[in-house]
């Protein structure tokens, strides 16, 4: 009897707990029939089943409490991460402030180098033409140029020798050294003259120079010339039998170069004195006016 009373008391002590557990799970509270069954079970001395259900009911609230604690525990790291983020962002702000304080030293402005415009440069090039052909006898020549020539013309006596006239034939060699303003000229000529059907030859070998003047054009180059020569007289009037007279001459001429033509034309007027030095007492002054045309061709 005492044992049955003890079991009934124990059962009634767990009824409120079971009611709370069922209400928390959303279940309906046990009916009177259920209670009657439980009373019968208690009277039949089967407390083990009741104890198991009671323990399960007690365990459910405990599990819920534990799960709530776990949820709190899981949320804690997020707050820790947020605090760490706050701590991490603070040094960046400090670093940015320090970077703003340090400013680079301003550099002085550099002057822009002005370049000539293409139009101005083209105008300068047009004003300064470059001659492609070398100017002989000037600094523009890079090597010595040697030219030879042959030619012919007419000769007329002057002064006391004006009664004589005839023709001439000659050969020249012109040397144009670089860095010199003149040309060196070698000359060999023959003057065949007559008077009253009587012949008189005036032959000479000489050397001289030619000074080119300002060019009239790219093709025409005037010049002045001077020479000294040894003269040989042979004829019915005067005979020296050797080149024993010394003469001199002055002239003016011009060279004409034509495109696609292999030679250069050289025309010259020259006044010559044939017996300026070493004249015999019975000789008259032999003076000549010559005009000739030569054809120059390159030799070297």
**How sure is the predictor about 20, in pLDDT bands with cuts at 50, 70 and 90?**
low
Q: Is the distance from CB of 288 to CB of 155 less than 8 angstroms? A: yes
**How sure is the predictor about 226, in pLDDT bands with cuts at 50, 70 and 90?**
very high
Q: CB burial class (10 A; 0-12, 13-18, 19+) of residue 177?
A: middle
Span 228-244, mean pLDDT?
91
Q: Which of 256, 287, 279 is nearest to 149 (CA)?
A: 256
Domains recognised in the chain with CATH numbers? 2-83 (no CATH), 145-298 (2.40.160.20)
Does residue 70 surpass a pLDDT of 90? no
Does residue 297 surpass a pLDDT of 80? yes
Span 5-20, mean pLDDT?
63
Phi/psi of residue 84, nearest 5 degrees = -65, -40
Q: 255 has which bridge partners?
A: 221, 266
pLDDT tens, 247-281? 999 999 999 998 888 899 999 999 999 999 998 88
Does residue 183 surpass a pLDDT of 70? yes
Q: Which of 268, 269, 264 is nearest to 149 (CA)?
A: 264
**How sure is the predictor about 119, in pLDDT bands with cuts at 50, 70 and 90?**
low
Span 219-237, mean pLDDT?
94
Q: What integer pLDDT is reported at residue 87 of this predicted model?
A: 44
Span 6-21, mean pLDDT?
62
Q: What integer pLDDT is reported at residue 41 of this predicted model?
A: 46
Q: What integer pLDDT is reported at residue 260 of this predicted model?
A: 83
Comparing 190 with 59, the larger pLDDT belongs to: 190
Alpha carbon distance 170, 150 (integer Å): 6
Rounded to the nearest integer, the mean pLDDT of the chain is: 72
Does residue 242 surpass a pLDDT of 90? no
Q: What is the pTM of this model?
A: 0.52
CA distances 47 to 41, 53, 57, 138, 205, Å, are: 8, 10, 15, 143, 167
Which of 9-23, 65-79, 120-134, 165-179 shows the lowest per-residue confidence on average (mean pLDDT)? Answer: 65-79
Determine the 3-state secondary structure of 161 from DSSP.
Answer: helix
Percentage of residues in the chain having pLDDT higher than 70: 53
Q: Which residues of 204-219 are buried (b: 16+ CB within 10 A; e: fewer)?
A: bebebbbebeeeeeee
**How sure is the predictor about 68, in pLDDT bands with cuts at 50, 70 and 90?**
very low
Over 8-47, what HEC string results? Answer: HHHHHHHHHHHHHHHHHCCCCCCCHHHHHHHHHHHHCCCH
Over 186-199, what HEC string results? Answer: EEEEEEEEEECCEE
**How sure is the predictor about 300, in pLDDT bands with cuts at 50, 70 and 90?**
confident
């Amino acid at each position: 009897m005492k044992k049955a009373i003890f079991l009934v008391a124990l059962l009634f002590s767990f009824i409120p707990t079971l009611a709370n557990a069922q209400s928390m799970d959303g279940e309906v509270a046990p009916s009177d029939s259920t209670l009657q069954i439980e009373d019968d079970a208690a009277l039949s001395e089967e407390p083990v089943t009741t104890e198991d259900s009671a323990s399960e009911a007690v365990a459910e609230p405990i599990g819920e409490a534990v799960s709530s604690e776990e949820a709190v525990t899981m949320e804690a790291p997020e707050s820790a991460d947020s605090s760490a983020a706050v701590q991490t962002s603070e040094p960046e702000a400090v670093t940015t402030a320090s970077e703003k304080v340090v400013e680079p030293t301003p550099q002085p402005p550099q002057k822009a180098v002005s370049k000539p415009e293409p139009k101005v440069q083209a105008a300068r090039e047009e004003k300064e033409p470059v001659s492609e052909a070398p100017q002989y006898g000037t600094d523009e020549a890079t090597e010595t140029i040697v030219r030879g020539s042959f030619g012919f013309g007419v000769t007329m006596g002057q002064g006391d020798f004006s009664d004589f006239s005839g023709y001439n034939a000659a050969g020249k060699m012109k040397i144009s050294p670089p860095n010199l303003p003149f040309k060196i000229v070698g000359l060999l000529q023959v003057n065949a003259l007559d008077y009253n059907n009587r012949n008189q030859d005036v032959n000479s070998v000489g050397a001289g120079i030619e000074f080119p003047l300002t060019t009239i054009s790219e093709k025409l180059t005037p010049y002045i010339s001077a020479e000294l020569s040894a003269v040989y007289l042979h004829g019915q009037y005067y005979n020296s039998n050797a080149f024993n007279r010394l003469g001199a001459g002055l002239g003016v001429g011009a060279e004409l170069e034509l495109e696609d033509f292999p030679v250069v034309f050289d025309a010259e007027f020259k006044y010559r004195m044939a017996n300026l030095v070493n004249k015999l007492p019975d000789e008259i002054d032999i003076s000549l006016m010559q005009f000739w045309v030569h054809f120059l061709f390159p030799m070297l």
